[in-house]
Amino acid sequence: MPQPLIECVPNFSEARRPEIVEDITNTIAAVKGINILDRHSDFDHNRTVITFVGSPEAVEEAAFQGIARAAELIDLDKHSGEHPRIGATDVVPFVPIAGASIEDCIQVARRLGQRVGEQLDIPVYLYEAAASRPDRRNLEDIRRGEYESLKEEITSDPNREPDFGPLKVGPAGATVIGARPFLIAFNVFLTTDDVSIAEEIARAVRHSSGGLRYVKALGMQVDGRAQVSMNLTNYQKTPVSRVVELIRREAERYGVTIHHSELVGLIPQAALEDAAVWYLQLDEFGHNQVLERKLYTVQQDSADGVSEIGGDGLLNALAEATPTPGGGSASAYAAAMAAALILMVARLTIGKNQYLEVEEEMLAVVEQVERIKSQLVKAVSADAAAFQAVMESFRLPKTTPEEKKLRSDRIQAATLQAAQVPLEVAEQSVKLLGFAQIVVQRGNLNAISDAGSAAALGGAALTGAALNVRINAAGLRDQQVASDLLAKISLLESQGADLQNQIRSQLFQRGEFGAG
């Protein structure tokens, strides 16, 4: 029976300091058994949403560690943003995904709430399915008046007494924790900067003021545009297409249209398919007509539950007209493929009578290259996240001298990180070239072309990573730091070139490749 899987989608009141967001993300990711699926930061909202999954125990621990770290790094007395909030970690919902029920998530929410209240001294309110009383089911009711009002009222108003934790609010504010079904966070931008229009449309759309069932909506201004910010709490009963069309009709009343929309976090494939069916009028459509769904089913049937169907996800993402993931992520992936080929050759050598004298050496190769491969797989997303942080830094406000300085400092910090990630990939690529040389020289001769392919991929990864180091170093204000980065990458390029030349010579000496 598969292990129960639940999702956690904590919202942190920070987006304008990428290094803080990165710190919190790394804290969550460090918990064993956790997989981070998505991270979305919005500068105008000054809010970051992180989506991760794992077993109930792992997710509960990761959520606690994230809340604890956010409490250390975020001071709500110095925080401002368009989105309502009452805490550094504002809201922490748990969602059943597979092999788990909403009751399981309720128990996780209540245990976590008690632990946060007792160990971190943060007031905790339970909401949605985990709510301890009916008037606290809705998040907006708990968050009404935001942090500033809660700070004043928690000691005097009995209705503001938390479920766990103290009757006082510190700089980390309070945290709302609960359990709920899957929710789609969906924003629609209008062709106007008039926020009053967005507010009127939000009033028409949201259920609480007579709009669509299972829709919560607010009007605000983001990136210079009026935005209708929504949570769709049951996409099966109120489809995304119905919401979009109502917004479109309401917008026409004010002489505006939809400019674009955005997702915050993830969306179920079925929700997108339902929207496609509605707009294309595919009345007799069946979900099993989707190629990827069919392949997934076939793969599961033939591989005893193994559900992966290849690396198309990264390839498709690279092919999109978006700056991330880019060449740095591709270089890390190329290096990871080099590592995988080295592992293949080493394992094809181990246990063969004619290669008994190198078996211990090949076992050592496997142990070390497995670690490198794991690091490189993480670097694929780390590189994309690093460059995303650079782009987000450039979007910071620059009206006052203080804002200009903050923006400049954030750009420099993010750019340095964007150079350091590919530098690490380059370092690992050179190490892999060394291991490729070992399997070229002493690995199973029947797989020598695979060993050579590993060296070629390692060399390509080094070249791509070096280009990314150089372009980011050029954007650094500190010339000494930039010079150090360039010196390091130049040395790695030289070492890599020497290894590649040696490997090529050894390949043609040992293998039957014809004239070299």
pLDDT > 70 in the chain, percent: 94
Peptide bond into 325 cis (omega under 30): yes
Residue 87 DSSP code: B
Digit-coded pLDDT (tens) for 330-368: 999 999 999 999 999 999 998 888 898 998 899 999 989
- The beta-carbon contacts of 317-325 under 8 Å, at least 24 apart in sequence, are 323/387, 323/391, 324/384, 324/385, 324/387, 324/388, 324/391, 325/380, 325/381, 325/383, 325/384
Number of H helices, E strands in the chain: 15, 11
Q: What topology is assigned to 321-510 in CATH?
A: Four Helix Bundle (Hemerythrin (Met), subunit A) (1.20.120)
383 is catalytic: yes
Its pTM stands at: 0.52
**Is pLDDT above 70 for 307?**
no
pLDDT band at 213 (very low <50, low <70, confident <90, very high): very high
Q: What is the CATH code for 184-267?
A: 3.30.70.670
What is the per-residue pLDDT for 309? 31
The burial of 501, by beta-carbon neighbours within 10 Å (0-12 exposed, 13-18 middle, 19 or more buried), is given as: exposed
| Contact yes or no for 94/20 (Cβ under 8 A) | no
Positive/negative CA dihedral, 16, 21, 22, 23: positive
The mean pLDDT of 151-163, rounded to a whole number, is 93
User: Boundaries of CATH 3.30.70.670 in the chain?
Assistant: 184-267
The Cα–Cα gap between 385 and 369 comes to: 24
Q: Kindly state the average pLDDT of the residues 52-68.
A: 96
Across 465-470, average pLDDT = 95
Which residue spans of the chain are classified as CATH 3.30.990.10?
Answer: 5-179
Q: Which of 45, 83, 163, 274 is catalytic?
A: 83
Q: What is the pLDDT of residues 181-197, one digit of tens each?
A: 888 999 999 999 999 99
The pLDDT value recorded for residue 295 is: 64
pLDDT value for 152: 92
State the pLDDT confidence band at 310, using cuts at 50, 70 and 90.
Answer: very low
Q: Is 243 helix (H, G, I), strand (E, B) or coil?
A: helix
Using CA atoms, how far apart are residues 92 and 407, in angstroms rounded to an integer?
29
Residue 223 annotated in active site: no
Tokens of 399: 């009206």
* pLDDT over 90 (residue 513): no
Residue from 92, 129, 96 nearest 112 by CA = 92
Residue 1, pLDDT > 80, answer no
State the span(s) of the chain assigned CATH 1.20.120.680: 321-510
pLDDT at 236: 84
Q: How many CB atoms lie within 10 A of CB 27?
A: 18
- Look at 168 and 512; give whichever has higher pLDDT: 168
Tell me which of 44, 163, 274, 383 is the catalytic residue: 383
pLDDT-based confidence at 306, cuts 50/70/90? very low
Give dist(CA 438, CA 350) in Å, integer.
Answer: 14
C-alpha to C-alpha distances, 212 to 127, 233, 258, nearest whole angstrom: 21, 11, 18
**Where residue 122 falls among pLDDT bands split at 50, 70, 90?**
very high
Residue of 133, 245, 131, 256 whose CA lies nearest to 190: 256
What pLDDT shows up at residue 298?
A: 54
Mean pLDDT across 409-419? 91
Question: Are the C-beta atoms of 475 and 424 separated by less than 8 Å?
Answer: no
Looking at domain 5-179, what is its CATH homologous superfamily? Answer: Formiminotransferase, N-terminal subdomain (3.30.990.10)
Question: Which ranges constitute the DSSP H helices of 74-161?
Answer: 102-119, 139-142, 146-153
Mean pLDDT of the chain: 90
The encoded tokens of residue 387 equal 């460059």
Q: How high is the pLDDT of residue 299?
A: 52
The stretch 254-270 carries a mean pLDDT of 90
d(CA 170, CA 485) in angstroms, rounded, equals: 41
User: Would you place residue 516 in the very low, low, confident or very high pLDDT band (cuts 50, 70, 90)?
Assistant: very low
pLDDT at 303 (0 to 100): 42
